[in-house]
A and B are shown apart, each in its own frame.
Chain A
Amino acid sequence: MEEQKAQAYWQENIRTIMQLLVVWFIVSYGCGVLFVDLLDTIAFGGFKLGFWFAQQGSIYVFLILIFVYAKRMNAIDEKYDVHE
C-alpha cells in the first residue's frame, strides 16, 4: 500500500513537470527560436513578437513556471502526506 502511494505520488510529480516543461519548450524553443521569423511578422508595440519572446517574454514565463511548480508540488506533497 505504502509503495503504491509512493508510486502514485511520483507519477503525479512527473505529470506536473511534463505539463510545465511543455509550456517551457513552446515559449523558448517554439516562440524564441523555431518560429521566431513567423512571429516577427506580428508587431507588438515597438517590438516584433518573436524578438520580444527571445529577449523578454520567455524569461517572464520561466519565472511564472517555477513558482507555479513550487505551489503545485506543495499541494501534491500534502495530498499524499509526504510533506516535511
Chain B
Amino acid sequence: MELQSLIYLFVGASFALYIGIAIWSKAGSTSEFYVAGGGVHPVANGMATAADWMSAASFISLAGIVSLLGRDSGAYLMGWTGGYVLLAMLLAPYLRKFGKFTVPDFVGDRYYSDVARTVAVVCVIFVSFTYVAGQMRGVGIVFSRFLQVDINTGVVIGMGIVFVYAVLGGMKGITYTQVAQYCVLIVAYTIPAIFLSLQVTGDFLPQLGFGGTIEFAFDNGVREIPAGTYVLHALDQSFKDLGFSIVYTEGRAGVWDTFLLTVALMCGTAGLPHVIVRFFTVPTVRDARVSAGWALLFIAILYTVCPAVGAFARLNLIKNTQNIEYAAWTQQCSADQAAALAAAHDNPAVDAARADCAGQWFQTWENSGLLAWMDKNGDGKIQIANGAAFKGKPSFDGDNRGASGERLLKNEPVPAPAGQAIENEVYFDRDIIVLANPEIASLPNWVIALVAAGGLAAALSTAAGLLLVISSSISHDLLGRVIYKDAETDKSKLTDAQELMAARVAAAVAIGVAGYLGINPPAFVAQVVAFAFGLAAASFFPVIINGIFDKRMNKEGAIAGMAVGLAFTFIYIVLNVFVDKSGTYKMFSIEATGVGTIGMVLHFVIAYVVSRATAAPPQDIQDMVENIRIPRGSAPSTHAH
C-alpha cells in the first residue's frame, strides 16, 4: 500500500480505538472522574503512568537530544527515570494511604491552610499548562508532516479527540485510553529501533546492538570505517575525522552542571502533579509501591532503546548522506526504480539508502523547514561535518530551487572552522531524528506509518493527563475546597453532580487554552519545560516530603518554604531566559536548567528553620501523619467522597 494511505489507516484505527475506549469507560461520579474510582490494577496503572509520562518530547525529541549531546544526555536519561525511585519510596505509598484526589488536596489538608492549598493550585495549573503547550506542538508537527494537513488543523483534530475522552471519561477514560496509547507508542518506538539495530549491527535488541559492531563498511568522508568496528568507536572516529573536538562518548558539560540538572529532573519528575495523581488510582498502598515499579519498567523499555536509536541515527546520517549526489538521490523515482526500492525495503540484506531516488524524504523534510541543505562548495553533493552550515534557522528563498533542486536559503553561510577539511552544509532539527529515522534508514512504509501513530499517542496521552490535573485542581480544589466551602462543616457546598459538571467544563476550557497554545506556541517552549521541572522540584517535591517525613513541619514552614523555593527558581529562570536573551546570565555559575535543585535546597532549609521557630502543628494533623505512614486501613478512594 502507498505510504500516505498506510498513515491514514494506522492513525485512523488508533483514534477509533481511543474513542471506543472512552465511550466504554465513561465516568459517572467525581471519584471516577478524578481517580478512576481507585480501582485500577497496578500493572494497568503502570502502563497508564508510562503513557502519561512519555510525552511528545520523550517520543520525538529525546533521541534527538541524545544524538546531539552524546554522553551528556545521560542527565536526561537518568533524571527522567531515577525520579521514579524517589516516587516509589518517598511519595506514592503515603499519598495513596492519604487517599484523596489531588496534590493540592494533600498540601491543603496536611498544612491545614487554604493559602497553601491555593498556592498549590496555582503551581499545578502553571506547571501543567507549560507542559501542555509542548504536547500540542508535538501533535502539530506529526500532523503537518505525516497527514499533510496544516499544523493548525492538526492541533484542532487533536483537541477534538482529547475532548471526547478526557471530558467524557475523566480519569477512568484517560487511564484505559492511556493503556492503549502506551501499547501503540511503545510498538511504534521499538519496531523501528529493532529494524535499525538489525540493519546496523545484526543484533535484535537495540540495547545490545548499541554496544555491538557494525555489519557494513562505510565512508565517513575522510576515511573508510571497516565492518566489524564497534558502533560507538565508529561514531567517535567519525566525529574526530569530521572536526568535532568532543567525540560522541565524551562529555562537554561540567560535572557540577550535570549533577544539578540530574537532581532537578529527578526531583521534578517525582514532584509533577500529573504523575503523582496516578498513584491515587490504585486500590492499596501495596499496589502503589509496585505500580511505580511497573511504570518504570514500561518507561525503561523506551528509555534504554532511546540512546541506541540516537547513536544509530547519528551513524546512519553520516553513512547515508555524506558526499551523496543530491540531484540523483532526491529525484522522482521511475516505475522501475520505485519497484526496486520497494523490494529493497522488504529485504533487510539490501541497503538501498544511497540508491538513486531513495532520498526523497530529504526533500519532504526540507518542505517542513526542519531540514535544509546549502551547497556551499557547489559540488552538488551533501557534506556533513562539525559546525553550523549557516546562521540561524532556515529561511527559505520562497520556492526557488538551486542547481541540484534543493530549496534555496537566504541565510548567511558560516565558514568551516580553521583547519577543518570538510565544511558542514546541512541544518538538522533534532526533533526529526525519530520521525525521519525510518526514512533515513530506508525502512518499510508501514514502519513509517506506525511512527506517526506512535507520536500522536505519546502527545495525546500526556496532554489528556495534564488536562485532567488542571480541571480537577480547578473544580475540586479551587471551587469545591476554597470558593464553595461551607465554613461550618468544612465540606464543599457543591453536590457531586455539580462538581462533576464543573470538572467537565474546566476540562473543556483547559483544552481550548491548550489548543490556543498549540496554534500560537510561545517562542520559548524548550526553556519552559525546564521551568516546569524546576518549579516542581522547588515546590511540590519538598513540601510533600516534609509533610510525610517531618511530623513537626507546620503551616508556617511549608508556606515559607514554598514561597522562597518558588520565588527563587522563578526569578532565576526569568532573569536567565527572558531578560538576558544571550542565555549567559549565571549567578554562582548555575545553568537555568539545574536551578530547581538550588530552589529545592532553599525550600528545605527555610521550611525547617521557620517550622522550628513557630508552634507545632495541631494534634489531629500529627495523628494524620502517623496514620499515612501505616498502610493498613487505606480505604478505596471510592468511599472517600
Chain A: residues with CB nearer than 8 A to chain B? Answer: 6, 9-10, 13, 17, 20-21, 24, 28-29, 32-34, 36-37, 40, 44-48, 50-56, 58-60, 62-63, 65-67, 69-70, 73-74, 77, 82-84
Total cross-chain contacts (CB, 8 A): 141
A46-B232 in contact (CB<8A):
yes
Give the shortest distance, in Å, between B206 (CB) and chain A (any CB): 11
B293-A70 in contact (CB<8A):
yes
Binary A-proximity of B609-641 (CB < 8 A = 1, otherwise 0): 000000000000000001001111110000000
For the complex, give the distance between the alpha carbons of A20 and B85 in Å. 9
12 pairs of residues in contact across A and B, judged by CB atoms under 8 Å: A6-B629, A17-B89, A33-B262, A45-B230, A54-B74, A55-B71, A55-B74, A59-B81, A66-B293, A70-B293, A83-B286, A84-B631
Chain B residues with CB under 8 A of A54: 71, 74-75, 77-78
For the complex, give the distance between the alpha carbons of A46 and B220 in Å. 19
A59-B304 in contact (CB<8A):
yes
Q: Which of B65-117 contact A (CB under 8 A)?
A: 66, 71, 73-75, 77-78, 81-82, 84-85, 88-90, 93
Task: Tell me if B134 counts as interface (CB < 8 A to partner A).
Answer: no
B262-A46 in contact (CB<8A):
no
Give the shortest distance, in Å, between A15 (CB) and chain B (any CB): 12
The DSSP consensus for interface residues of chain B is helix
Contacting residue for A67 out of B73, B77, B212, B290, CB 8 A? B290
In the complex with contacts A55-B71, A59-B77, A62-B84, A34-B255 CB distance below 8 A: yes
Chain B residues with CB under 8 A of A10: 629
In the complex with contacts A28-B82, A32-B74, A37-B251, A46-B230 CB distance below 8 A: yes
B84-A66 in contact (CB<8A):
yes
A33-B213 in contact (CB<8A):
no
The residue of chain A having its C-beta at the shortest distance from the C-beta of B629 within the complex is A10
Contacting residue for B213 out of A34, A46, A70, CB 8 A? A46
Binary A-proximity of B263-297 (CB < 8 A = 1, otherwise 0): 00010000000000000000011100110110011
B230-A83 in contact (CB<8A):
no
Contacting residue for A47 out of B89, B93, B232, B290, CB 8 A? B232
For the complex, give the distance between the alpha carbons of A47 and B82 in Å. 21
Q: How large is the interface on B (under 10, 10 to 19, 20 to 34, 35 or more residues)?
A: 35 or more
For the complex, give the distance between the alpha carbons of A84 and B262 in Å. 35
Contacting residue for B632 out of A21, A37, A84, CB 8 A? A84
For the complex, give the distance between the alpha carbons of A63 and B297 in Å. 6
B211-A45 in contact (CB<8A):
yes
Give the shortest distance, in Å, between B10 (CB) and chain A (any CB): 29
In the complex with contacts A33-B259, A59-B77, A63-B296, A51-B249 CB distance below 8 A: yes
Chain A residues with CB under 8 A of B547: none
The residue of chain A having its C-beta at the shortest distance from the C-beta of B83 within the complex is A62
Interface centre among A53, A59, A84, by most B CB within 10 Å? A59
Task: Tell me if B312 counts as interface (CB < 8 A to partner A).
Answer: no
A63-B293 in contact (CB<8A):
yes
Task: Tell me if B59 counts as interface (CB < 8 A to partner A).
Answer: no
Interface centre among A17, A21, A36, A51, by most B CB within 10 Å? A51
Give the shortest distance, in Å, between B625 (CB) and chain A (any CB): 10
Task: Tell me if B173 counts as interface (CB < 8 A to partner A).
Answer: no
A55-B77 in contact (CB<8A):
yes
Chain B residues with CB under 8 A of A21: 85, 89
For the complex, give the distance between the alpha carbons of A48 and B71 in Å. 10
Task: Tell me if B55 counts as interface (CB < 8 A to partner A).
Answer: no
Contacting residue for B289 out of A37, A45, A63, A69, CB 8 A? A69
Chain A residues with CB under 8 A of B71: 36, 50-51, 54-55
Interface centre among B255, B289, B296, B300, by most A CB within 10 Å? B289
Give the shortest distance, in Å, between A29 (CB) and chain B (any CB): 7
B286-A84 in contact (CB<8A):
yes
B251-A62 in contact (CB<8A):
no
A33-B207 in contact (CB<8A):
no
A28-B262 in contact (CB<8A):
yes
Give the shortest distance, in Å, between A69 (CB) and chain B (any CB): 6
For the complex, give the distance between the alpha carbons of A67 and B284 in Å. 16
A47-B211 in contact (CB<8A):
yes
Task: Tell me if B303 counts as interface (CB < 8 A to partner A).
Answer: yes
A24-B631 in contact (CB<8A):
no
